[in-house]
Amino acid sequence: MARARQIFGNALRSATPSVEIIAARLGLSTSALRRYRLGDRAPSPSVLRALAGVLQAQARALEKSAHQLYEEATNQEDQHAKT
């Protein structure tokens, strides 16, 4: 069960990165990121590409987490069926 809790926590962190984490991955301040989000600031092509890269990495992490969650659920079902 400890493995399931760890996988679950990792999946949630992958699914919901904080503004601080995204800003750090983009090399921006949280203030700049919020200004982009609010539409107070227009992103340059390099910022757009950087965000695309961050989102692609997040998508890969989510796919990995989904696979791990599914595998863990299957393993637990198999173990319960044997008892």
- pLDDT of 21-39, one tens digit each? 999 999 999 999 999 999 9
Contact status, residue 35 vs residue 24, Cβ threshold 8 Å: no
Q: For the residues 37-55, what does the mean pLDDT come to?
A: 96
Could you tell me the residue ranges of all domains in the chain? Answer: 2-82
Q: Is the dihedral of CA 15, 20, 24, 28 positive or negative?
A: positive
Task: Report residue 2's pLDDT band, with 50, 70 and 90 as the boundaries.
Answer: confident
Which CATH code fits 2-82?
A: 1.10.260
Note the pTM of the prediction, 2 decimals: 0.81
Q: Hey, what amino acid is at 56?
A: Q
Supply the pLDDT for residue 82. Answer: 85
